[in-house]
Structure 1
Amino acid sequence: MTTATARRRTVRQFVPPQHGAWAMLLLPYLAGLLVSGFAWPAAPLLGAWVGGYLLSYYLLQAIKTGRFTRFRPQILLYAPITVALAVPVVVTRPAVLWFAPAYAVLLAVNAWFAWRRRERALLNDLASVVQGCLMVPVVAVVAEVTPRWQPFAVVLLYFTGTVLFVKTMIRERGSVAYRRASIGYHLAALAAATLIGAFAAVVSGALLARAWLLPGRPMTPKQVGLVEIGASVLVLAAAALAH
């Protein structure tokens, strides 16, 4: 086995093959920074946030398969890293613990669906979306400023719609019901975005157009991902301006 092959195998063993999850991790965090500003606890917060995702992914895999020993190396790696990075955040900004009950409930939803082997269920996806979007007010609390609802709403509207849109492009391709649900949701999101601001409404209109026009077209998952990268940049700008 070559060194490069061994390295790729190690990466596959310790890094989840969930490329879309990174946008859900980073976009709300960056939106929070742009809106609330940077305070030094935001640095370990990012590490704890990423470490917590990696830890939760492998814990949920262990629950799903019932094979905890298989995922022990990943759990034993990411658990202490997450705790070590979370401690300075909690010590210096104990107000972040107000978010703990919400995360506990949402993670319990993820665990239940993992146990039932239904992690692709819509409700499970939405629970993950809310977890990610809550990072916007968490960053605000870390920066010791009052959280604003508008940036949180912009990010939440986007990721909720993305769940539906991506399903119409990949797993539910050809489903008329999902396509109608996606378009209907994006119409409602556009109406909500008009209450947030002009740029948020423009971005929401663009997201509606992609939800309306792209399903049914022969696009690969990679191409869909590239579309969402562009959408994420627009949403980040909209969130930054929505305060």
Structure 2
Amino acid sequence: MATVTIAPVRRRRTVRTFLPPQHGAWAMLLVPYLAGIVVGGFHWLDLPLLGAWLGGYLFSYYAFQAVKTRRPGRFREPLLLYGPVTAALAIPVLVARPQLLWFAPAYTVLLAVNGWFAWRRRERALVNDLASVVQSCLMVPVVAVVAGVAPTRVAVAGLIVLLYFAGTVLFVKTMIRERGVVAYTRGSVLYHLLAFAAAAVIGVVPALVFALLLVRTWSLPGRPLTPKRVGLIEIGACVLVLLAAWSGGQ
């Protein structure tokens, strides 16, 4: 009986050692990448790019955990795994597309912001979340460059994705960590009104999508929704945003 009980616990610990419990992060990683491909086109280098992108996120997550806890040894295993994997996948992409290094200063600054908030143990701060959003959305022009397309080709799609994720940071806070905080709720609704106005200038489909996002932002705060249900709502929103990005990028 002890073996039956202990084995699942060990498996859970192993998963926690190598996979962070940040389910919403996967949408921020994948949606900009997919938006870049949908609008800018696919190149075989997008495959190692995706691996390096995911590996880089996993490495940075545990690196910031090491900074936050002041216990780097605790995260030695995932760092030793994801560091080399990320480098091995990123190097061929950079060799083939050295112009990607133009993005390095922006990522350096944004990661420094994340590192500072991790050191201060304030990784849930709004500024830190928005810095992570910008990092993710830069993947739209990165994918375009990998495909041999000018970043301007995907600028509108990148803006749509950025508008969505910046708004989602506010919306999710009103549903979970800042539930009942009037200032956050009002700020979230105001932001989504402005985002809707910007989307309306872009086109009909983006306007319709951001109209729905505005409705969810106005109507859902205060309702007894679990984080899981909020996450499911955002999965549907991500699909709509990809449609808006494709439409706006045509």
TM-score range (shorter-chain normalised) is over 0.9
Distance 1:175 1:43 in 2: 42
Structure-2 residue corresponding to 1:189: 195
Structure-1 residue corresponding to 2:91: 87
SS of residue paired to 1:240: helix
Matched, 1:49 2:53: yes
Which residue identity does 2:119 align to in structure 1?
Answer: W
Structure-1 residue corresponding to 2:44: 40
Which residue identity does 1:55 align to in structure 2?
Answer: F
Q: For structure 1, which segment, 6-15 or 107-116, has the greater mean C-alpha deviation from structure 2 after superposition? A: 6-15
Matched, 1:224 2:226: no
Q: For structure 1, which segment, 141-150 or 13-22, has the greater mean C-alpha deviation from structure 2 after superposition? A: 141-150
- Residue by residue, what CA displacement relative to the aligned partner does 1:95-141 show, whole Å, maximum 9, x if unpaired? 11111100000000000000000000000000000000000000000
Structure-1 residue corresponding to 2:20: 16
Q: Structure 1 length normalisation: TM-score?
A: 0.98
- Residue by residue, what CA displacement relative to the aligned partner does 1:211-241 show, whole Å, maximum 9, x if unpaired? 0000000100000000000000000111111
SS of residue paired to 2:223: coil
Choose from 135, 150, 158 the match for 1:152.
158
- How far is the alpha carbon of 1:8 from its aligned partner? 2.5
Distance 2:199 2:78 in 1: 40
1:1-243 pair list within 5 angstroms: 1-2=3-4, 3-147=7-151, 148-243=154-249
- Residue by residue, what CA displacement relative to the aligned partner does 1:15-39 show, whole Å, maximum 9, x if unpaired? 0000000000000000111111111
Which residue identity does 2:136 align to in structure 1?
Answer: G
Fraction of identical pairs, as percent: 68
SS of residue paired to 2:201: coil
Which residue identity does 1:214 align to in structure 2?
Answer: L
Gaps of 5+ in 2: none
Structural RMSD (CA): 0.9
Which residue identity does 2:192 align to in structure 1?
Answer: H
Q: Structure 2 length normalisation: TM-score?
A: 0.95
- How far is the alpha carbon of 1:7 from its aligned partner? 2.5
Which residue identity does 1:136 align to in structure 2?
Answer: V
Which residue identity does 1:200 align to in structure 2?
Answer: P
- How far is the alpha carbon of 1:4 from its aligned partner? 4.1
